[in-house]
Amino acid sequence: MTLEILTADSLSFVRHGFFTRRGGASSGVFAGLNCGTGSSDQTEIVALNRARVAEAMEVGHDALVGVHQVHSPDVVTITGSLGEKPRADAIVTATPGLALSVLTADCQPVLFADPDAGVIGAAHAGWRGARDGVLEATLDAMEALGAHRGNVTAVIGPTISQRAYEVGPDFFDDFLTEDTDNSRFFANGTGDRMLFDLPAYGLHRLRMAGCGRAEWTRHCTYSDPHRFYSYRRATHAREADYGRLISVIRL
């Protein structure tokens, strides 16, 4: 099966892709294109999947770079291939030929580009990273490389949608403590549960930070098991582990 790569028209000026799980070599609960080196999948199979992604992005395996994601607001700026992955949740560059990647399984993968400045970025933004400022920090790091945030296009790829993201009252209270206006990102669920709109929150943070254009591809990871991995769906199904989707952008 060939790889399925979702793209955004607004990023058509730069090579990029939100890869689905289709077309990979993994099996079992990981069936498909599992690119998560931190999963319990076979190491050689994950490496094969990642090699297929590098080939699709027309870069060497060493040029497909990423970070050791820790749900932080931290960003790294790179000029060449990496050795040991730094602990961070976003990565930016102005160096042609490097393919920036992030891994997700419900959290937001966000790809950034300023076509005039020739600067790109990629961020992993779950609720914690988004609330702590990883999206704004990515824009700051891009500006340090010569980008202008008003010229930046940011696209949120497949992520968990509001209808599938049930949270408890403590989660809701924490967001209201930060800003009472955050109530707009929640809807009533069953009993005391609430439904959180993660992509709407991500778009709000991007737009408030001055990002020139921000959008979501409107794909829900939880609701489409044939195309996407989902941490929450795997947890509900009591599966031992779950695959990781990869999203990539390069100059």
Q: Is the pTM of this model over 0.85?
A: yes
Record the tokens describing residue 211, joined without a space.
């990002």
Asked if residue 168 belongs to a domain, the reply is no
Percent of the chain with pLDDT over 90: 97
CATH number of the domain encompassing residue 47: 3.60.140.10
pLDDT (mean) for 103-119: 98
191 located within any domain: no
Residue 181 lies in a domain: no
- In this prediction, residues 157-178 reach a mean pLDDT of 97
- Write the pLDDT tens digit of every residue in 113-165: 999 999 999 999 999 999 999 999 999 999 999 999 999 999 999 999 999 99
Is residue 170 in a domain? no
219 phi and psi angles, rounded to 5 deg: -105, 130
Query: Residues 6 or more apart from 110 whose CB is under 8 A from it?
Result: 102, 122, 123, 124, 125, 135, 138, 154, 155, 156, 157, 202, 206
Tokens matching residue 25: 């070599």
* Residue 149 structural domain: 5-161+197-250
Is the pLDDT confidence value at 83 over 90?
no
Write out pLDDT tens, residues 182-234.
999 999 999 999 999 999 999 999 999 999 999 999 999 999 999 999 999 99
Judge whether 117 lies within some domain.
yes
Give the chain's domain count. Answer: 1
Residue 213 forms part of a structural domain: yes
Residue 173 in domain: no
**Residue 190 within any structural domain of the chain:** no
Q: What is the pLDDT of residue 104?
A: 98
